[in-house]
């Protein structure tokens, strides 16, 4: 397993650049890509998301290379702050079968509708019930089980961003929280590293966990 790094930057929402990036997520995507420019082709596989914690806003980044986020802090961060980076492998190595974790995930739950011409069209799940059902199905694929009683949708927001500099895209970002139990260690680690769902380059797909002994059937 390659080294992984989890980094965090406190965002200054009074900055014009930050406000623009929060409404056009491709700005954050571009800044993150520039952080790793020329380093490694795998830079395209970084995961990130925006978190709100105790009234503050943070950019959370999971990367295969140890980042220098100084320029990103200058662009979007609080002037007096710096970025934090931790080795993620410590957590990955603690994962065992049947272990229980609190989790947070920002994801883009979608389904494919078949058109009359046989082509498929990707559309978002917009109801809380369908959004939860989507995550339960994803959990089965990715080596974990969700406690249905604990599962909550904390936020559901439409995002607009310019994709590959060609067209504006509208995608639904849903924030999930709850408890999960690991059923397949390797598949679960892969989900943590590679993310879940679509639009990963634009702030969705990053699953984070915290150890707990609680479980709700």
Tens of pLDDT along 19-41?
A: 999 998 999 999 999 888 655 55
> Stretch 4-15: mean pLDDT, rounded?
96
If one looks up domain 5-91 in CATH, what number appears? Answer: 3.30.70.1200
Between 77 and 36, name the one with better pLDDT: 77
Residue 157 near residue 173, CB atoms below 8 Å: yes
What does the pLDDT read at residue 42?
47
What does the pLDDT read at residue 43?
46
> Is residue 166 over pLDDT 80?
no
**Distances in whole angstroms, Cα of residue 195 to Cα of each of 5, 54, 55, 83, 93:** 14, 25, 26, 22, 17
If one looks up domain 94-211 in CATH, what number appears? Answer: 3.30.70.1210
In the chain, residues under CATH classification 3.30.70.1200 are 5-91
Between 196 and 111, name the one with better pLDDT: 196
In the chain, residues under CATH classification 3.30.70.1210 are 94-211
pTM of the shown model? 0.90
Residues 6+ apart with CB under 8 A from 94: 211
- Closest to 179 (Cα-Cα) out of 201, 210, 206, 202: 210
The structure tokens listed for 162 are: 């310019």
């Amino acid at each position: 397993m390659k080294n992984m790094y989890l980094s965090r930057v406190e965002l200054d929402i009074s900055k014009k650049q930050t406000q623009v990036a929060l409404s056009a997520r491709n700005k954050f995507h571009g800044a993150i890509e520039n952080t790793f420019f020329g380093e490694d082709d795998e830079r395209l596989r970084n995961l990130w998301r925006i978190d709100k914690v105790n009234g503050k806003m943070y950019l959370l980044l999971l990367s295969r290379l140890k980042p220098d986020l100084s320029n990103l802090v200058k662009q979007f961060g609080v002037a007096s702050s710096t970025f934090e980076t931790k080795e993620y492998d410590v957590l990955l190595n603690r994962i065992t079968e049947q272990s229980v974790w609190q989790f947070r995930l920002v994801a883009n739950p979608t389904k494919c509708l078949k058109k009359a011409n046989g082509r498929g069209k990707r559309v978002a799940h917009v109801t809380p019930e369908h959004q939860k059902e989507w995550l339960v199905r994803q959990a089965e694929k990715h080596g974990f089980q969700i406690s249905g009683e604990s599962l909550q949708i904390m936020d559901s927001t439409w995002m607009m961003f310019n994709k590959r500099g060609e067209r504006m895209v509208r995608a639904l970002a849903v924030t999930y929280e709850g408890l999960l139990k690991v059923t397949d260690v390797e598949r679960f680690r892969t989900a943590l590293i590679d993310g879940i769902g679509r639009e990963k380059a634009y702030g969705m797909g990053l699953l984070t966990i915290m150890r707990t002994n609680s479980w709700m059937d």
